[in-house]
A = this chain, B = another copy of it.
């Protein structure tokens, strides 16, 4: 019998991360994978909010047994480019600043530091763990630089972040997760010793779904996970002056690519690095078009959108986790 893939999710939840976690949890419930832990990092919101959001997400899926670890509270080089006083894309608290009931029991959070944990567990299960990164890469970079062997111990890493054609969302040229901590992204890309799969912002743009589908199809499901997402995203939409017209599920996209590689319709290998110093391009990913370096990444360009929607519906509609 083929052994299940072991997974750790590093995230900055974020409504987007919550849907991605539900998708992973469905894979776990379906015996395809084994989620070892969720590690938290600052990004969409501060790491102290992230840990609460992760607990709420696990709670909705009845999986509070999965251990949660807290990592870095901000990028390697402070201050965070998003400032500390303005709300992020998903609001101040990353979950739409909605009135959510049921404060989770934070005593469930593990005392061990996320970076220490990442090193310890990958050392115990060398070459067996897939790391899925849904936020800035601060935790992973700190593990790499603090623990010499960490870079060799992962099986593979899947990253939502960066770009390959200079299309940005935080700035004109840079995607949020890379822009929030460009140094961390560069450390990971230049040092990790395992296959890297990147779902860049361009792939995310290509896979945007209609808001109508989001609320009239996905949103009509009556599971606890959809209820949580609906509460969070409706609160978010009410507060936005400029209503979005499409729905990005970027973090879910990288999970989909991990769980169902057959979704990938176009990808290519290349060497990728990160601009740290430009005035207009800080945080942009640079493709080595001159082919001077060995490939270090597989860039996902596009996926089958219908299969992606089916996968989301499957995960969001899964009645009984466990």
Which residues of A are in contact with B by a Cβ distance under 8 Å? 72-73, 76-78, 113, 115-116, 138, 142, 145-148, 164-169, 171-173, 183, 186-187, 190-191, 273, 275-282, 284, 286-290, 292
Q: Which residues of B contact A148 (CB under 8 A)?
A: 73
Q: Which residues of B contact A172 (CB under 8 A)?
A: 286-290, 292
Q: Which one, B145, B277, B282, B289, contacts A142 given CB within 8 A?
A: B145
In the complex formed, the residue of B with least CB distance to A48 is B148
Q: How far is the CB of A160 from chain B (nearest CB, A)?
A: 18
Q: Which residues of B contact A165 (CB under 8 A)?
A: 165-166
Q: Which residues of B contact A277 (CB under 8 A)?
A: 276-279
Do residues B290 and A286 form an inter-chain contact, with CB atoms below 8 A?
Answer: no
Do residues B168 and A166 form an inter-chain contact, with CB atoms below 8 A?
Answer: no
Given known pairs A191-B78, A286-B172, A287-B166, the reply for A275 and B276 (CB within 8 Å) is: no
Q: Which residues of B contact A173 (CB under 8 A)?
A: 275, 286-287, 289
Not counting A278-B280, A279-B279, a sample of 14 additional A-B residue pairs whose C-beta atoms are within 8 angstroms of each other reads: A72-B145, A76-B145, A115-B146, A116-B146, A138-B145, A164-B166, A165-B166, A166-B286, A169-B289, A169-B290, A172-B290, A277-B277, A278-B279, A281-B281
Q: How far is the CB of A82 from chain B (nearest CB, A)?
A: 15
CA distance A276 to B78 in the complex (A): 12
Do residues B113 and A289 form an inter-chain contact, with CB atoms below 8 A?
Answer: no
In the complex formed, the residue of B with least CB distance to A186 is B77
Do residues A286 and B281 form an inter-chain contact, with CB atoms below 8 A?
Answer: yes
Do residues A275 and B286 form an inter-chain contact, with CB atoms below 8 A?
Answer: no
Given known pairs A281-B275, A286-B173, A286-B280, the reply for A113 and B183 (CB within 8 Å) is: no
Q: Which residues of B contact A142 (CB under 8 A)?
A: 142, 145-146
CA distance A165 to B142 in the complex (A): 31
Sample of 24 A–B contacts (CB below 8 Å): A76-B76, A76-B183, A77-B187, A77-B276, A78-B187, A78-B191, A116-B116, A142-B142, A142-B145, A146-B146, A166-B166, A166-B286, A167-B287, A168-B290, A169-B289, A172-B290, A172-B292, A173-B286, A275-B281, A276-B277, A277-B278, A278-B281, A279-B279, A281-B284
Q: How far is the CB of A200 from chain B (nearest CB, A)?
A: 12
CA distance A187 to B113 in the complex (A): 20
Do residues A146 and B183 form an inter-chain contact, with CB atoms below 8 A?
Answer: no
Q: Which residues of B contact A276 (CB under 8 A)?
A: 77, 276-277, 279
Q: How far is the CB of A166 from chain B (nearest CB, A)?
A: 4
Do residues A166 and B284 form an inter-chain contact, with CB atoms below 8 A?
Answer: yes
- 7 nearest interchain CB pairs? A278-B278, A166-B166, A165-B165, A281-B281, A277-B277, A277-B279, A275-B281
